[in-house]
Amino acid sequence: MIETSVLKFTGVTLIYETDPVLTDVSFEVHSGDHWAVLGQNGAGKSSLFHIASAQLRPTSGSAFVLGEKLGQTDMRKLRKRIGISSMAIADQLRRDLLVKEVVLTGLYGDLAPWWHDYTDENKTRAMGLLELAGVDWLADRPFITLSAGERQQVMIARALMSDPQLLLLDEPTSGLDMGARERFLDRLGLLLADHKSLALLVITHHIEDVPISTTHALVLKHGHLLASGSAEDVLSDSNLSSAFEFPLSVENRSGRYRAVARLN
């Protein structure tokens, strides 16, 4: 049977040495779905991200990414079909790369642009994505000199360079101040509006970072799936209070969420 989901986990369990970090996790992402994955530190978000990005395969259960079953496909080739934005990747890039070179590396998923020849069409696409991300004026600047918010916008442009079906964002607003976060989320909304069929998975432990376009949410607790489904249903007082082990009151204002301590 050929899987048509962009991402599908069925009973996924992941064990590091003898410790389970994910246990029996199941969910399914379709084209155009925008998912937020929340949970406290150590809940299993990074492990889920590493499987979804074809960097790890489950210990048991099955994980399909872009129709390919992990463990039965060449994961190196599969990773080139996934758009990934992560500060861990940004930190591995050569310090002397210009912004436009950073975006070009996203075409093949490399850390430097010198192992491939890029066409004029490739270079035009890179500049177009930088413009859409709102940072085309930085194209000839060294990437290392950018602010944290500017780097995040460049990394999104890089992730879209290969025209992926699946975009994975790992803590995309980490290190940003409130203004930079809001500018980033606004620009992300424009990028997503220009890529309507793109499936999105955002890993975060701050509900305020959930993009307004979010359609679905998944909450992890100690490696177990606490809740998954529509964002409106999942991002509730009870689910987040349980996940973060603190009484929280969740507010939803026109698709933007925030959580505050629940007062007795």
Name the more confident of 238 and 194.
238
The answer to whether 217 and 35 are in contact (CB under 8 A) is yes
pLDDT of 37 above 90 = yes
Residue pair 171/39 in contact (Cβ under 8 Å)? The answer is no
Which residues, including other chains, have CB under 8 Å from residue 130's CB and lie 6 or more apart?
A: 99, 100, 103, 136, 138, 139, 154, 157
Segment 84-103 shows an average pLDDT of 89
In this prediction the pTM is 0.91
**CATH topology (fold) of 1-77+165-175+196-264:** Rossmann fold (3.40.50)
**166-173: average pLDDT:** 92
Q: What is the structure's pLDDT at 130?
A: 93
Q: What is the assigned CATH class of domain 82-163?
A: alpha beta
- pLDDT recorded at residue 264: 65
| Ramachandran assignment for 19, one of left (phi > 0), alpha (psi -120 to 50 degrees), beta (any other) | beta
Structure tokens at 46: 């990074």
| CA separation, residue 98 to residues 3, 140, 143, 179 (Å) | 39, 6, 5, 25
Q: What does the buried/exposed string (b/e) look like for 118-145 if buried means 16 or more CB atoms within 10 Å of the residue's CB?
A: eeeebeebbbebbebbbbbebbeeebee
Task: Return the ∠ at Cα 13 (arms to 155 and 51), rounded to 5°.
Answer: 20
Query: Which residues of the chain does CATH 3.40.50.300 include?
Result: 1-77+165-175+196-264, 82-163
Give pLDDT, residue 1: 38
Q: How many CA atoms lie within 13 A of 50 on its CB side?
A: 16
